[in-house]
Amino acid sequence: MKLPLPLIEYMSKYVTRSSNDGFKLRSDILKIEIAVIHEVFQNAMSPLVDHLKKEINILNTGTIQKVILVGDFSRFIMTKTVFHESFPQFEIIVPSNSYMAATIGGTIAGHEIRSGKYDSRILYVPKMSIVVTSHSEPAALRSSSNLRKYIDDKLSVKPNMDTDTTIDNISHVSYLPDPIRPSKIATKLQDLYEFEYAESLAACIEKGCDDAKSEEFLLQILHEAYDECRKQAHTQINTITQAFHPAVGIDDIKTSLPSDVVKPLIEYRRKNALQYLPRLIKSFLETLPDKINISNAQLSVCTPFIEKGMECCWLMSVTKPPMFLKFEWNKSEQIDLTELEIERGNGKYVESMRWPALYLYENGPLMNKGVVNAK
């Protein structure tokens, strides 16, 4: 298991290079013996199995033939093994997306959205893939088209307004199967901090740069990447708009495309965002030495960090509304621990920024905390 930098110093106090109660720490890698993992699982599973046995004894066990496991814990091999051994009389079913099964099922069932304008109830059923299991399912659930017909037949309340209007009002809500939804982008950014950033920071320090300057240097690179991606995303849409209306911006003529034209274009760009990345990264690497003081040696060791950082920043920029990175904090105000984590120092005020905070959009909900050094 690869540890993030903040944990290494802490773990080294308790775990040595030699095996210590099943744990071994080497550099930033923590090794855990299989026996320890088995023990942890058993401690967690035993109360659960005991509880289920009591519940099953209360029910009419003759009517129970199959048990479906859902939730994040169900996908582990040890969980399946324990259930097979504890309940051999039942057929244990684990859906392929068991960790999301309950969420997807709830979403397929629909959300009730009330509109103040129309004062009506709308049942919104998004287009989603069905969780597949290795067992036979009812015919209505075997394809999305059959499922749609099944739901339509069963609905007692029909929408009396265009659901697109409703979706517009909740445009920040992302569909779960979307691989570049905001929560996934937030995870990518966290991984960037824990892996590529940590590796680049260590490489800079090895080349003789002190900690503070290395942190400032890498943060500056990320800030430049973020600004460049925001600018390119804005320029793209402006270019498309001007192609339809060549007079835009000339002689104070202000013309905008209708939303039903712009929105599909923005969504198309978002879904195909990764196709534009190679050229963006190439251009950014070529122009970066003109923006900040960076040597070829530093550029070489930081290239993985830059490439992954550009990917994160570009995906943030093409999301609608764009996700927001906050790099600046008021150093005269006390650190808000709901938005920031302290890496070094015991004070209450920001001494320096180490990593920006991520928000769903500007002035929106917090996605990832920022990291600072305190004074």
Q: For residue range 67-103, list pLDDT tens digits in order.
A: 888 887 887 778 888 888 888 888 888 877 777 777 7
Q: Would you state the pLDDT for residue 40?
A: 77
Q: Would you state the pLDDT for residue 372?
A: 92
Strands 324-326 and 357-359: antiparallel
Average pLDDT over residues 119-139: 39
Using the predicted structure, report yes or no on whether residue 254 has a pLDDT greater than 70: no
Instruction: Give all strands (DSSP E) within the chain, no chain letters.
Output: 23-26, 29-32, 66-68, 91-93, 111-115, 120-124, 324-326, 340-344, 350-355, 357-359, 366-368, 370-374
Lowest mean pLDDT, pick from 3-12, 167-176, 200-209: 167-176
Average pLDDT over residues 355-366: 92
User: Same structural domain for residues 159 and 189?
Assistant: no
User: Same structural domain for residues 275 and 360?
Assistant: yes
Using the predicted structure, report yes or no on whether residue 39 has a pLDDT greater than 90: no
Q: Are 372 and 352 a contacting pair, CB within 8 Å?
A: yes
Q: Give yes or no for a cis peptide into 321 (omega within 30° of 0).
A: yes
Q: Are 298 and 204 a contacting pair, CB within 8 Å?
A: yes
Contact residues for 41 (Cβ-Cβ < 8 A; gap 6+): 76, 78, 79, 82
Q: Which residue type is seen at 23?
A: F
Domain boundary among the residues 118, 134, 169 is at 169
Domain boundary among the residues 142, 169, 196 is at 169
Q: Specify the higher pLDDT residue, 185 or 117.
A: 185
User: Same structural domain for residues 195 and 261?
Assistant: yes
Radius of gyration of the CA atoms of the chain, in A: 26
Q: Are 5 and 198 a contacting pair, CB within 8 Å?
A: yes
Q: Which residues pair with 68 in a beta bridge?
A: 93
Per-residue model confidence as pLDDT tens digits over 236-253? 888 877 777 655 444 444
* 63 in any annotated domain: no
User: Same structural domain for residues 219 and 298?
Assistant: yes
Q: Specify the higher pLDDT residue, 11 or 326.
A: 326
User: Same structural domain for residues 359 and 319?
Assistant: yes
Angle between helices 259-271 and 296-318 (to 10 degrees): 140
Of 49, 58, 50, 5, give the one whose Cα is nearest residue 27.
Answer: 5
Q: Would you state the pLDDT for residue 333?
A: 84
User: Same structural domain for residues 214 and 153?
Assistant: no
**Please, which pLDDT band fits residue 58 given cuts at 50, 70 and 90?**
low
**Please, which pLDDT band fits residue 205 given cuts at 50, 70 and 90?**
confident
Q: Would you state the pLDDT for residue 128?
A: 38
Using the predicted structure, report yes or no on whether residue 151 has a pLDDT greater than 70: no
Domain that holds residue 122: 99-169
Of 235, 237, 230, give the one whose Cα is nearest residue 266.
Answer: 237
Which letter, b or e, does each residue of 47-79 get, where b requires 16 or more Cβ atoms within 10 Å of its Cβ? eeeeeeeeeeeeeeeeeeeeeebbeeebbeeeb
What total of structural domains would you count in the chain? 2
- Quote the pTM value: 0.54
* 46 in any annotated domain: no
Q: Which residues pair with 29 in a beta bridge?
A: 2, 26
Q: Specify the higher pLDDT residue, 365 or 113.
A: 365
Per-residue model confidence as pLDDT tens digits over 335-345? 998 899 998 88
Q: Would you state the pLDDT for residue 312?
A: 95
Q: Would you state the pLDDT for residue 284?
A: 93
**Over pLDDT 90: what percentage of the chain?**
24
User: Same structural domain for residues 211 and 319?
Assistant: yes
Lowest mean pLDDT, pick from 23-37, 320-334, 361-375: 23-37
Domain boundary among the residues 135, 169, 203 is at 169
Mean pLDDT over the full length of the chain: 75
Per-residue model confidence as pLDDT tens digits over 173-191? 444 457 788 888 999 999 9
Q: Are 197 and 346 a contacting pair, CB within 8 Å?
A: no
How far is the C-alpha of 218 from the C-alpha of 272, rounded, in Å?
A: 28
Q: Are 98 and 71 a contacting pair, CB within 8 Å?
A: yes
User: Same structural domain for residues 206 and 326?
Assistant: yes
For tokens 């199967």, name the residue. Answer: 177
Q: Would you state the pLDDT for residue 315?
A: 94
* 62 in any annotated domain: no
